[in-house]
Amino acid sequence: MYLTRQEEKMFDGEFGWAHQVSMEILARLGDLFGAIKLIPIKSAHVSGVSYKNIGDAPIDFLEALFKAGGKARVSATVNPSGFDPDYLTGRLPARYRLQQSRILDAYKRMGIKPDLTCTPYYLREPRVGWHLAWSESSASMYANSVIGAWSNREGGPSALAAALVGKTPDYGVHRAENRQPRALVKLDTVLQSDVEFGALGIHLGKALKDKIPVIDGIPSPTNENLKQLGAGLASSGMLSMFHLQWEVPPKEELETISIGGKDVREAVGCLSTASERANLIFIGCPHCSLAEIESVARLVEGKRVTKETELWVCTSRHVKEKAKRYVDVIEGAGGHVLCDTCAIVTWIKSLGVDIMMTNSAKAAYYAPTLNGVNVTLAPLNKCIEVACNQ
């Protein structure tokens, strides 16, 4: 890969070890994927934050980076951690808190904003055509497909390296020719809820693997519908983006996948593993938008969450602040609006959860393996009915 004079200096260690190791990561990645140069990025988003997910091993490395002078050269944010600031703090072991604080402290000292959300686009929406290095797969999918920014789905280390260098290798969907669709999905049914959008995403991700699809038959989705579709696609597949339309005739014959109502219903059914009542209702995977919090508030207004059930609505601090009046309604009904974390990246088993109910196909896909709980996947109104025991 071609390096500029300054990049070579960084590679040779003239800017210190933290930037040298970051440049090594990027150069190796670029060589592996055939990039010929690095390109500047507008922002990085780093996953690998929750102590539950990453454990002890990377903590010393993160601390070594900031001690060696590692500093982000572009705006950078991080994914959710294992704790929220209030509700979970006293319910989990002190050692977990200590280790989580070390991780967050290391990121902060490197100048990375502790926004702790998987929806950084609600904080500062990138512009069309901006190059990014985002490592939360649902976020890079949203950035590419809904916003029109350009980001590969980075791993945590490569996003962190990109944050410190301010650049990323020019390969994958940073190049226009790699953003073209390679499959056509013909949808012959009207999707009824976010659950169906997410489950369709999981179903298609398995079939498409890394092929970018153009999906025909979604006439007027909301951005929240597309967030769920993309989160599902990125969970079970390796692709980075989808299109809803593609005007230019494709260069090659596209593989066609036809999807009917039965396929979507089966995809939803496959994601439910529980037959008993849930003791955690989890809304907010990916983290809720303002509109989603408003929807929850409208459904719980005048009701009461039962003592046997916890209702978690997960979002960023930024959105929670904007949603204050809806947050008051949800918390007044006995629910909890949590920031900085989610049910997948915290220790829900240790909190006594056996069965989770959620409206997120992504959460339903991961919870049985990552959290060891059974799941019921159901639309938001059903989730709130169960939370309030109706």
CB of 366 to ligand F3S, least distance (A): 6
The CA R_g of the chain, rounded to the nearest whole Å, is: 21
117 contacts 80 by C-beta, under 8 angstroms: yes
DSSP letter for each residue of 298-342: HHHTT----TT-EEEEEE-HHHHHHTHHHHHHHHHTT-EEEES--
Task: Read off the DSSP letter of residue 125.
Answer: P
| CA-wise closest residue to 232 among 370, 364, 362 | 362
Contact 290, 123 (CB under 8 A): no
Using the contact rule CB under 6 A, the part of the chain among 15-23, 298-306, 342-350, 371-379 near ligand F3S is 342-350
Q: Are 82 and 341 in contact (CB under 8 A)?
A: yes
CB of 55 to ligand F3S, least distance (A): 17
Q: Contacting ligand F3S (CB under 6 A), which of 20, 75, 79, 140? A: 79
Question: CB of residue 86 vs ligand F3S: minimum separation in angstroms?
Answer: 18
Tell the smallest beta-carbon distance from residue 346 to ligand F3S (Å).
Answer: 9
Does residue number 345 form part of the binding site for ligand F3S (CB under 6 A)? yes
Interface pick for ligand F3S out of 75, 138, 240, 315 (rule CB under 6 A):
138
- Would you count residue 286 as binding ligand F3S (CB under 6 A)? yes
285 binds ligand F3S (CB under 6 A): yes
- Contact residue for ligand F3S among 54, 132, 344, 357 (CB under 6 A): 344
Shortest Cβ 181–ligand F3S spacing (Å) = 24
> Distances from the Cα of 44 to the Cαs of 52, 59, 75, 150, 152, in angstroms?
22, 20, 7, 12, 11
| Nearer to ligand F3S among residue 35 and residue 281 (C-beta) | 281
Nearer to ligand F3S, 75 or 138 (CB): 138
Determine, following the binding rule CB under 6 A, whether residue 288 of this chain makes contact with ligand F3S. Answer: no
Q: Report the alpha-carbon distance of residue 163 to residue 45 in Å, rounded.
A: 8
Stretch that binds ligand F3S, among 153-161, 208-216, 282-290, 317-325 (CB under 6 A): 282-290
Give the interface segment with ligand F3S, choosing from 10-18, 82-90, 95-103, 281-289 (CB under 6 A). Answer: 281-289
- Three-state SS for 149? coil
* Half-sphere exposure of residue 320: CA atoms within 13 angstroms, side-chain side: 22
CB 363 within 8 A of CB 343: yes
The CA distance from 36 to 153, in Å, is 19
Give min distance, CB of 315 to ligand F3S, in A. 9
The answer to the question of residue 118 lying near ligand F3S (CB under 6 A) is: yes
Mapping DSSP to helix (H, G, I), strand (E, B) and coil, where does residue 55 land?
coil
d(CA 22, CA 30): 12
Which listed residue (30, 48, 70, 80) binds ligand F3S by CB under 6 A?
Answer: 80
**Number of residues located near ligand F3S, criterion CB under 6 A:** 14
Cα–Cα distance between 256 and 339 in angstroms, integer?
A: 41
- Supply 139's token pair: 């976020």
Which residue from 215, 274, 278 is spatially nearest to 243, judged by alpha carbons? 215
Give yes or no for residue 315 binding ligand F3S (CB under 6 A). no
Q: From residue 143 to residue 162, what is the string marking binding to ligand F3S with x (rule CB under 6 A)?
A: --------------------
Enumerate residues 360-389 that contact ligand F3S by CB under 6 A: 362-363
For the CB of residue 117, give the shortest distance to ligand F3S in the complex, in Å. Answer: 8
Cβ of residue 235: shortest distance to ligand F3S, in angstroms?
A: 9
CB of 367 to ligand F3S, least distance (A): 9
Draw the binding track, 223-262, toward ligand F3S (x: CB under 6 A; -: no contact). Answer: --------x-------------------------------
Q: Which residue has the tokens 């939360």?
A: 136
Pick the closest to residue 310 from 388, 234, 237 (CA basis): 388
296 within 8 A of 384, measured Cβ to Cβ: yes
Which residues is 168 bridged to in the sheet? 39
CB of 362 to ligand F3S, least distance (A): 5
Residue among 257 and 280 whose Cβ is closer to ligand F3S:
280
Residues that bind ligand F3S (CB under 6 A): 79-80, 118, 138, 231, 285-287, 314, 342, 344-345, 362-363
